[in-house]
Amino acid sequence: MSNFYHYYFLVLSVLPILSCAFSKIHIEIQHTSIFEIIPQLKLHHIVILKEDPNKESLYAIDFTPINNGKRLDLLLNKNAPAQLRIRSMQQWSVNDWHKTPTINVNNIKNKSIREPVKIILNKWKIHSENTLCSQDCVMNMYKHNCQHFSKFFIDELSKFQI
């Protein structure tokens, strides 16, 4: 019986990714380091959106503390003010990602990507307020973090007929 639950969980976790894989928007998760001094510890999730998997240009979207100095507070299970960032890039490179400025969702050129992203980011803000009982956008390492955001984003994007 435990194998049944294992396979059931596996199927449930893969379905949103598969549904996005067959849509016109290619989506993937990049894992990056939280701390520069420990580059092997790749726990930060960044959602990568491409209009075409064969093209290089992409949008990188993540949920992160506004102040990088608050990362230690997160490890101590404290809330930290957070932000949603969107970056337009010609190709994925973590080094370029750090140097690329954040853009507004309205700067996403393709409407078939822009509109779903707008809706999903607004839903995340509402979800954030309900989850943490706060009017501010905050994150918490254990209850509301970048990995929760990436899963939420994929689940929500899979609902669109793109």
| 139 token code pair | 């994150």
List Cα–Cα distances, 13 to 4, 10, 19, 50, 130, in angstroms.
14, 5, 11, 21, 23
The amino acid present at 126, given as its one-letter code, is I
CA distance 49 to 40: 24
At 1-27, the pLDDT tens digits run: 555 545 544 444 544 444 444 457 889
Residue boundaries of the structural domains of the chain: 2-157
pLDDT at residue 19 in the model: 45
Residues in the chain with pLDDT values less than 50: 5, 8-12, 14-22, 133-135
pTM of the model: 0.78
List Cα–Cα distances, 119 to 4, 78, 115, 126, 133, in angstroms.
35, 28, 6, 11, 21
